[in-house]
Amino acid sequence: MDGESAKTPVRLSIFNQSFTLRVAGDPAEILHAANEVDELMSAIAKSGNMDSFRVAILACLHLQDRVHSLETELANLKGRIEDRTRELATLLDDAVGRPSPEHREP
């Protein structure tokens, strides 16, 4: 079976525009995403008299800002996990009597 035949058509509406997308995963996920985009665009449109193009651009900028914030948060969490892993490895090495990588002789 090829990838195209495994996709399901999903009808959705964003900012009074209807779309049909073919999705490989759970259709509920794309419907949820479309609903969030629709709500965001509607909220932006209420803030002033703008055409749909401007509303879409502002929504994209808002979503990109959210993505950037989440990527920064993820990078910080990965750094904290790596630091904590090194600390725990050192404690474990000390507990079993082996020199930690920082204290081993070359």
pLDDT in tens, 46-61: 998 899 999 999 999 9
pLDDT tens digit sequence for 78-98: 999 999 999 999 999 888 987
Of 58, 65, 28, the residue nearest 43 (C-alpha): 58
For the entire predicted model, the pTM comes to 0.74
> What does the domain layout of the chain look like in residue ranges?
8-96
